[in-house]
Amino acid sequence: MSFSIDGKTAIVTGAANGIGLAIARHFANQGANVMFADMDDVRLSEELGDVAEDSNIRYFSGDLREKLTIANLLSGTIDAFDSVDILVNGSRQMLTTSPLDADDDSVNTLLQQNLLTSLRLSQLVARRMIKQAEGREEGPVGSIINLSSIAARRARPELLAYSISTAALDQMTRSLAVALAPERIRVNAVAFGSVMSASLKEILREHRDYRAVIEKNTPLGRIAAPTELAEAVQYLASDGSGFVTGQILTVDGGRTLLDPVGAPAH
């Protein structure tokens, strides 16, 4: 059983900071060719600087909610690396919701960002993976990993839109897994709890007491580092998980084993 992704090509979205950046860097360090994708061009440039032509990394900036942008992302990846084997849908957004406000548009916003962007890119990349595998009757064809959240299984009114969008992403994962299984493309998700992402850092700056609440409600008693999530994603991207598809892998330090007591499902 091998967890190697050496020589494979991956697209990682949401790769300008936080968890997406950690995953993309980890993949590159493991020998994969990686396209870092995000709408924040400045941040991508700051993080990656000038990229040599023979480097195993490239970056792409654009609004992935636009169909033309995702088509250009795939074209840029193929131009750079000739193929694509792994897609990590890490581009996501978190907003609070006012549940009884009819003018609150957060559900629509997060369904667009957290669900439909991942769906459209998955569809496009899957078609490319299938085309690459023409004439090859055996062996894995590709792996798609969606970044979800334990919020999909929690009921916190202020996170209504985020919970709905991540729950929808989980069901999309299962449905695509069944649809793409005959093509030998696996689709899984990682639902995480408290990982030291850019957004969680911002929350902890504004609400310093949250750290203690999170740690109290996490059996392992701490907040995960982004690299720990990256290693879980690598497992799902590798041939070592070759018989795993349609699964939501929970990486939360045991948070979902306990009843929530005021801890943000993040």
Residues 6+ apart with CB under 8 A from 260: 154, 156, 217
> Which member of 59, 162, 210, 235 is catalytic?
162
Known catalytic residue at 162 = yes
DSSP state of 223: P
How many residues belong to the chain?
266
Q: Is the CB of residue 229 less than 8 Å from the CB of residue 253? A: no
* Amino acid found at 235: Y
- Helix or strand or coil: residue 129? helix
Q: Measuring CA to CA, how many Å separate 104 from each of 108, 117, 160?
A: 9, 21, 11
**97/188 Cα distance (integer angstroms):** 27
Question: Among the residues of 207-258, which ranges form H helices?
Answer: 210-216, 226-237
User: E strands of the chain, at which residues?
Assistant: 9-13, 33-38, 57-61, 86-89, 142-149, 185-192, 248-251
3-class DSSP assignment, residue 35:
strand
Residue with tokens 């040599």: 52
Q: What is the torsional sign of CA 120, 159, 108, 204?
A: negative
Residue with tokens 């496009």, as numbered in its chain? 124
- Residues known to be catalytic: 162
